[in-house]
Each structure stands twice: as C-alpha cells, then as structure tokens.
Structure 1
C-alpha cells in the first residue's frame, strides 16, 4: 500500500482527506501539526513503506513550522514526490512556491474531492531539463500585461534573461495602446485585471487589423475551466499559469515563439493542403467536373458495400452512387451534388441518400469541396458518412422523450400534450371525457421491504393490468413514481365513477407475487369529467389530483370523482402556488435562519425572577462554561411585505411537492456557514438542525454534509441533527444506517417530540441518539399537573440510564424551569429562555464573556440526581452585566419551533 502524508491543521479537513484517500487505497499519515509532519517527513527513510505523495494545506498565516516543512519539500531528495496544495484563496506566495517546485499541483478546498486525481496528475509530470529550450533564432517581441508590479518584474526579468524583448503594461487599455504603437509577436495577458479582463484585450487585438497577427496567451494564477474556455473563445492560443514552474513557463513560451517563427511556412502549407484536409471524412471520393469518379478511399468502398474501388472508378457518381430521389440517373436533370461538381461550388453539411452495391438506400451527410492543385481546379472532393445509426439513435431518443423506460408507457410530458389536444377537440362538440389519476397504495412498503427490484416488477405488472382494461382509443401514462394518468374518451359523466371503480377492482383482484410471497394490490383513483367548459389541462389535472388526494384521505383503495360543490380546488391551487413560491425562494435565497438558545439547567435554581427574563439564556450559558452553547436553527420565509413567515404555513406544501430535501440542504449549508463565522470563539457553539423524512431517505446527504464542513472548515461535533421518531417508521433500517454515518463523521443526533409516540421506548434501543427532546405538549402541563411531572421525571431517568441527555421544549415560565430541573432534565428551550434571534451571536461584551473572550461567572456545582432537593448555587452574584441582544423575533405561534 502506498503512503501519503496529509499536512493540514484543521481536524475537520484532515479527517475528511483521510477518509477520502483511504477509500482510494492510500495509507494515510495525518499528523496534528506542521512540526509533526516535518518530523514524519524527516524520518521517512526509516519507514518500511516510503511516503509517495504529500497533501499540503496552505494556512492563512505561515508559521515557522510551516516554512520549515515547505523548505524540506524543496530539498532534492523530495523533488520526485508529488505534492498537492489545498487552499481557500490563491495568492502570490502560493503561486511562487508552486512555480519553484516540480511535480506540484494546486487545488481549491471547494474541490477537495479531486485530491486523489490531482496526486496522480502531479505524479505524472515529467521532470524538465535543467536548461529550458531556447526560442527560435531572431528577436521575439513580447507584450506582457498585468496589474501586479511584482508579476511584471518577475516575468520580465525571466524572459529577458532568455533572449526575449519585453515591454509591459498594467491594464487592458494601456496594453492595446502599446500594441497599436509598435510591433509585437506575442502578447501575454493577465486574466483578472481591474476595468476590463484580459480576454477583452485579446478580443480587441484579434479584431484590429494592425494587431491581428499577434499570438496571444492568457496568464492566470487560478486554474479554472471557465477561465480557460473563455480565454480560448476570446482568441487566446494558450493558457499559462503563474503557479507553473519556471522551466515549464519558458518551455510554453518557446513553443509560442516557434509558432510565430514558423507561421508563414505553416500558412503556406495549410493553404496548399486545405482543399484535401477540409474534405476528409469517414468516406472520401473524388470526381471530375462532369461527375466521373477519380478515386475512392477504403472507408467509402466499405460503406457502399463494394468489394473493390475499381468497380466504381470511371463511372458517373450520379449514376452509381446518388441517382436521385426517383432512383434513376438523368443527365438532363442533374441533382444538387452533380451541380456542385459542375460549378466547382462548396456544398457544406448536405444530407442525401446514397445507394449501396445491393441498391439499398442509406442516409448520409457530408460536404463537397472543389479540389485545387497549384491554383487550378481539378474537380471536387466528397466527404460523407453513414448516419443510419444516428438516425436510429434519434428515433430512440424521440421514443425515450415520450415514454417511461421502466413500464414502456408514455410519460407525463406526452400525456399533457394529449390532454391539451383532447380539450381542444371537446371544445368543438358536446362530447365528454374523463381524466383519472391512479395512485398505487402501499408501494413504498413493498419497495422497501421486498427491495427495489420488487418495486420495479410491481410497477410493470400494474401497468400491464391497467392497459389491459382500456379501450383502443384511451390513453395511459406513468406520471412518475407510483402514479398513473388515464384519459378515457367519449365517457358520459354519470359513467365515470363505475368505470373507474371497475378498473380499480380488476387490478386489485389478483395479488402481486414476488419471491414466493403474495402482496395485495390496491389503488386509489381520483377522476374528473372533461367537456367543452374545462378551461385548461392544468385545471383538469388539479381536479383529478385533488380527487385522488381525497381517495387516499378517505382510507385508500377507493375512487373519488371531483365535485366542484364539495371539493375545495382553491386549497389545491393555493398549494400549487406555494410550490412555485418555495422553488423561487430556493433559487433567489429568500429563506432566513433564526436561532433559539437551548440552555443547560444547572444553576437555574438561583433564578428568582428579579432579573430581566430576556437575559436568562445568557446567564445560564455563563453559569455553565463547560457546556457547549447550543442553538436551534429555525427556518423562516421572507414574505412579500417583509415579514418572516413561520414554517407551519409553508412546510405542508413543501412536503406535498417534494421540496423538503432541497430546503433541508439550504438550511444545512446556511447553518454551517453561520458556524464558520463564529469559529474563532474560544467556546464550542453547536446548532441543531431538523431533518425531514425525504432527507432521511437520501443516501447522498452525508456526503453533502461532509463537503459543507470541509468547505467552511467547521467541526462536525458542532452539528446536532434532529429527527422526529414518526418519520423513521417507514424505513428504520435505512435511517439507522444514515444516522450511523453521521455519527461516524462526528455529528450528534437528537430525537424530537420524544415521549408522545407509541414506539418511544423501542426506538431508544434502535436509534443511537445523543439528545432526547421532550415534546412540548407534556411540558405545557407544568408546574401544576402532577401526572406530567411524573412522566417527565420518568423520561429523564430513562434517558440518564441509556446515556442520553434530555431537552424540554416549549418552556414558557420560570416555575416550569425549576420543576424541569428538579425532574432531572438537562436542557430547556422556549420563550421563557429566549426568543428566536436573527443573529447567532451579536458583538459586544456579553458575547465576549459567554464565548470565553472575557472571564465568565464561576460555574454552578455538579448537577444533582433527579428528584433531590434544590441546593443554592455556588455561582457568585446572580446579577451579571449583560445587555439585551438586538434582532430578537417574538412569534407567539412559534414556541421554539
């Protein structure tokens, strides 16, 4: 196994690199400091397995140990070892270090998952000769444009030492003015410059007749596909990098110089050969002006099905190969190709039909170019290729664009077009039709318990059964997942319900069998009548969808026909509006996070209500300096009037339209960004984040979290993911696997709404959680309800026995806090402690004291067992000088959620 040294100070990034490289088969050595990395590298010759690569994180500030490590990598004995630099931002220091060392690659932390490929790329770089190649003879005039005086000086000296005549400019405008005032052979232009970028200058040089001959190249300090593509599109012939080694830069420059030196010869050769080279294709044949075939390459012979070219040479191409649409050759009526031969015209991108030796037509496309030799036209060259496979592929693509690959039924896009056509037809007469939405009941259960293969077989079987019940003129499509749509033509409104129910019962009569086990199939069907008054396909589909929704709500395995007097289409329309609004909010970043404190209860017995309640959360954090500062990240949506909308208003629509996974990722990304902003505080801050059922079923969630943590350099231990136990019932095995991966990453887990579900205690064994959040409905009975007090004390005792910590939600008064503490609850959250806040931590002396920047109030004594009498805290004065924090959001309906 090969060994790689990972030299990176951040534990989060070091852990992520170690996991990534370990999966690629590397033996990873990841010391905790630059000094340790230097020691490992210095003693590498004593290792049984030598170090064959180094991944080097570039810190914001280089310390002495960092410089020593980089100096060691410059020594001759390490020059052959590939090094990958990882950095958040580029700098001149990084570029110069990389230029001065061979086999060194640069990678941004946002692309850290490519580190394995970069190691291989750096390892394949050839060691350049000590003396770089000299440019061709004759002076080469170079225009160097860069806004950095350091870069101008360094590269000017380098090029002048090797015989180039260099003049410099510091902007695109100055560079263009200089290029118009005197001749240059080569222009090397920096990409990023104030005013106009380098690509604008290169485009201007290409447009101006006086500077069009200048060979232009972009030079940049950052490797980016977008920069390279834009540079080449603007007219640059090369992309140089400031971080390249000196020898590689000179080798590229010498190549440009040779291009300038040889341009006239190359242009002359190109002009002489372009007639032939431009016509080269899969099949090539030449003809005289009258269409007589002169030559034919082997590919053309093979495509046309002839055993030998001699069978075609000397014959008329129009007679033997392309006789025309009628299949006969008529010299009096020449076709398009024959006319191009006769007139010596270029015929690009033509499409036609050629005839094979067996007189079978094949579709072809190609070009015709006149052939010139020594300035004289000598006929034409035809380049063509057989596009039979392409046409077949196009047919397949058209089929795939309209069909579902699994069930072979038509898809949603095709069905919507058919529905629109049917409504147009109905507007011309008095006929009626029916639209049915079919939803397969319990599909998720079968798919999860019997496997995805069984789920696919079930969908195929149901598709066949439904199709067998339809008439020849009816249409069916799979709309996605386990949903189908059926269009029944010429159906009276009174026949819709019995017809839909007959389809439902016919499908459900026989069970579905897989792996020797039988499953009962049931359908929920929603239907609506279509006539000349139906306004649009969208309205019809909304009605059928709402009817199907009513079927499932009524107990499933039944049919429901839309009734405008009973069914509230306005509700469905409102949800559709929310769907569009939420998608726009994701694209336009119109969500907002607010943060509500979750405080430890140790020391709460010292609270008497004499001090401002708005500062209670701050006092509790000060009383418990050894505990992490925990806040819950709560989601809000910006309304059109500037207000913040509660999630209870829009999350039901998000769940219905499958947007929860995207919203969860927005929250995770923003929450980790908020932690990044406060990462320099001395005290650990943690955020709890709610995960939806869709995210719990997303196998890629852990990779997404890892990428966000690495990008922002945040400790995974600062994240607490909340799950609601009811969301795990459908796939307990999958949820356990996902939570296990999150815990292996270093994150913590909390079970929300604990104590209300029927499976509460069974889940304690199955779900490996760190925190149990006691449901607020139980807490609301305190301090007066003795039953609620008993339940909470029991839950706290169970949590303590299983090694978990408890959090009480919806706490609204000081008396409840005291009772919770007496019951043995560890943490609390609610309006009695603090309202949701727009800022995670505001600037000021209060924040400084809480986070460890200033001395804190002494800690309270060790927590007592549940049920023991309260003891006066040893925390010093109860009153602490803490200002009320700004940007507090008081939402009476929130209760901490």
Structure 2
C-alpha cells in the first residue's frame, strides 16, 4: 500500500511530466512542419529538374537551416552536371546528324536515331524513337539483330561487325555494316550502333562472286587440268580435269607438291624432268615441260603424254604469291603426230621409208663421212618386168607385188641399213659404214633373191628382176642430187648390160651419160630453173555444147629455150628431168608461174571455167608437193576453183593411195582434176570411181583419124559412154581435123582441144 504522503508527490511528478511532454510536443511539431516544407521544396525542384532552384532558409531552425544550405549546394552541383550532360547530348546529336553513317542509340527499342537512319523508311527521326530497332531492317536479318541486342545487354560484348539490309522501299535494300558498343544514355545503359553503307562494296563482292563462280564453272568445264600452288609449291586447288589427269582425288592432293604425286619423265630416254612448279617459283619465270613429256603415276601403272606449263602468280607489287599449272593431255594428239610423222616419212604401200626421208638420211650420211673415217654406199634399184604385171593384172596385183618385193629386199640388208621406195617400181638402199666390196655382195644377194621369187596372181605366175646401180659415198662426194644421179646412171647401165645386174658407178659412166645427151639436158634444166628460163604457152579448150559453164577453158604448156634460143618441147627434156629428179622442181615452177599469170590477168578465164596444169607422176608421188600446192593457193589471189590439175593415168595407178590423198585434199579445196592420156588402161575404170576425178582426157592416139579408123571410133564411143555413166566429163585432145571434130561432137564428147581449135600460144 502506498504511503499517503507520497500521493501528492506522485501527482506533482505526473503533472511535471505532462507539462514536459506538452512542451516537447510543441517544439517537435514545429520541427516536423519545417522538415515537411523542406522536403516539399526538394521534391518540387527534382520533379521540375530545376536543379538551380534555391531552398528558403528563413523559416528554418538553425539545424534545418544548415541542412537547407547543404541541399542548396547539392542543387548547384546537380545543376552544373545537368548542364554539362545536356551540352554533351546536344553535341552528340549534332555530330550524329552530321556524319554520313547511320547512328542509333537503343535497347530493344530506339532511343535516338539520326536522319540517315530515318531517311530509308521515310520517317522523321522523332518518329523512330520508341520503335523496335528491327523495324529498320529486312525480315531476314531481324532474328540476328535481336540476338546481337540480347548479347550486348547481357554484357557479352563482341568486336565483330554485322551486315544487314535496311528496308528502303526498293527491291534492293541498302546494305550496311554495323558495329555496336554499350554507352550510358540519359542515366541508363544503352547500345550505340553505327552502320556504314556498304551497298557498293556488296555489289562488287556479288560481281566478284559471280565472276569467281563463273571462273570456277569454267575451270571445272574445260578439258585442261588447272592446278594452283602456294609459294612453297603445295597444291591449293585443282579442277576436275587435273584430278583425273594426275589420278589423285582432290582432298588427297591438297597440301602436297606436284612432285609428290606424279613423276615427269622424257618419253624418249626416261630422264627425270623434275617438278616444274618448284622450278617456276625458284626461277621466277614460266616453265614449260618438254614436248616429249610423260606424266607417270608413282605406282608406275599409268602414263600420259602431256604438255605442262607452270607460271608464277604475281601480286601488283611484283611479289610472287604462288603458281598456276596448266596440264593438257596430248596422248591422242601426240599419237596422231607420231602417226603423221610416220606417214610423212614412210611409203603407205610398202611401209618402207619414202623418198623424202631417204634423202634426209642420205644428207646425214654425207655429214657423217665428212666428220668421221667411214664410208657408205647408195644402191639404186629398178625392177625389171614390173610393168608386165601391172598392165596385165591391174594395179592391185602390182601393189601386192611391190609389198612382197619390199620385204624380200629388206631381208638382204643389215639392221643398220635403210631401204626406201623412191617411187613407182624404184627402190633405194643406203648401206651405212659399208665397204664397197660388201655392198656389192649385198646387191648381188638382192638380185638373186628377187630373181628366185615367183609372184602368183589368179593362177598366173610371174617372175621379175631388179637392176642395181651402186655409188660410194665418201668425203669427196657431191650433193645429194649428184649422188642420186650417179646411182641412177649406174642403174641405167646395169639395165643396158642385160638387166638383173649390179653396176658400180665410175667417172666413165658420166662420160657415157654425156654421150646420151642427158647431162646436156640436166645442165639446161638446172640453168632454166635457176635463171627462170622456162616459158608458158597456152592452148584453149572449147565446149562442144556451147553451154558449159565449168571445166577447163585453157591448158598451160611448158616450153624451154636452148642455148641457141630455140623452143624445146617437153618430150625432149622430160626424160632427163625425171631421171635426175628435177620434175618436182619443174612442176613447182609451173604451178607458181600459172597462178601468177592468172592473178596478173595474163590468163583470162570465163566465169566458172578453169586452167589445166599437168602434173608428172614423179611429182605426184612426192609427198611434199601437196603441201607446196596448198601453200601456193593460200598465198595467191587465185580461187582454187580456177585450177584443174591433169595427172597421168599410169601415175595414179603407180601409187594409188598417195594419188587419192593428193586429189582428195585439193579437190576438197575446190580444185578440179582431169585424168590425162586416158585409154591406155580402160580396165581401171572401177578404181577411178573412188577418186575425185572431174574430167577424162582421151589419149590423142584414139582421137586422130577418128572419122576413118572404126576401132578408134568404137574406143572413144565406149569411153564417152562409160564416163557419163560414172559422172565424168570427157575432153578429147590432139584434135587436128574438121572431120574428127565433127565425129567427136556426134559421139557426145564434152570438150576438145588441139591444132584444129588453136595452136599453143606464148603468154
């Protein structure tokens, strides 16, 4: 229980406490009002961003007055910072609008965009603010951009640029290359994206891409192998053709050197040709592998004849950045070239070397005897009684006989010797390093072997022989033509001695030849060729129907002037020209002179008509003459259709295959062909159908006295009818009388020439 006296004291204490509480409440209420007022001022300033506004301190207590002063200092600092930020933002925006690049500040949506960003979509910059960034680009790129934005906001920074197309209303959007970085923009993290217009670059890249694709397609399409290598020779690329040629898959070849995949060797001596790529890079120049290169696989199972070039790849400053190799498979071409080379050097009928190759080897033998202590022997062989077989049984029998005799003659010589068919039924043997006594023994063996041989054709048996002229080749020997002429003269004497003989050339033979007059004609012919002393005469050929618009209108004839300026007819010098192998030169002169005469207007031809030129059998069998004629035609202004070559029937039958080739090539160029002196072998009509013959010229022996000689009349009639059956037109030569002219017209001959029409006239 409380003491009574304590009650007043307690009451007084409670009253004092109450008074104290009332006083504290009054004072606190005043402070709270000041704090609330101060708070209101600060909030209003913040909401208005009026950082320069002042807080009133007059109604504040001392403590709150100090706080208000501090707040005013803070407002001053904030006001300064705000001004700086606004200035920087102003400068940033001015700069962004001034640059030619697209500038964006954004998160997922745009916070700021310059005019370059707004122009393509046709909006104002303010209209872009708040729109998704992806609205600016083509749909194909939007997912990529969203991933980039997400990575940037997740602070997965990347220095890589991205490329995309803007939407600009056109079919081809503007291409830009953009880079982004994080910045603080108006108090928040944002992405600054700057994009450069790369439309032109992309266009160039597209063009280059198409070019590269086209180049790639081209490289994959061409037949040549293409290989590129780096500066160390390691393969970087090879096309499909190269893959097939080297026999290695692309992936297996990459990174390896060419020399690690294939070997290059010479097809002749098999010597190693090395790696052309390494040589090219080392020598800094183009390297071509030899024309006889073989590419051999490392296992040695495959070989290819190739042509290969390796060229350095140079940069604009001249430094080498690698090499490119072109590989061409020439197996077929080289095989064809070898075949053509063989054909050019060999007689197609017998397989022996031909005259041109024989003369080439004879030339080599001449050089060897002058450089070494050795001698050789040339044998000139002429078959006896061959014409009997050819005329009796036809050219097929003659061809078989020549083939069999060629084998027999070749069996008589040594492996080091050469046997050639020089033309018709003439052969040559070149006995290398052979003493004259041994050569005479070989010649006698050949004569005996041919004599003992019996040729059987359709139950008929023939025996032939051979006459041989020998000449020793030593340091004092003359030219090839002189050696051949000497051997031919010796062969001629062997025939005069009774055939089936061998005769060794001596100086006395030359005296004998002079006595026969051949050396005289030889000198005259050589002088005419050298001094251009031949003359051309022409004789017209007329159409009996009067309606012919093709065929020969004139024939050119060769004449020669002797020392006394007398005109010499061909029959006086042709034999010597043939014996001394000058007919080819004579015919070449005639072709050139005729083409010149036509080109210069000395020979005028009616439209569609041609000029006839005679070609000897010796020339026809000379392989190089065809090339000569083609070259002359190519370099003249004369249409090949204005030329008609006349060849003798016997010349064609002597070397049918060569004649067919000669006629076929020139006929294909437009030249015409006539068969001269036809009628001496009517049995050859069937074979002639396989030749491109346009005209048959009936031998003059049948056209003379036609009106009186019934046999000739029947022959001419038969030839004319047969000719028309197979499509040949007929020319009658040596027509000298009106009666013969009229008879030929009735028979149906197409053309005539002869003294009745006109004597030959000098051009």
> Which TM-score tier does this pair reach, normalised by the shorter chain?
0.3 to 0.5
The higher-RCO structure (CA 8 Å, 6+ apart) is 1
TM-score normalized with structure 2 length: 0.46
Rg (Cα) greater in structure: 2
TM-score normalized with structure 1 length: 0.40
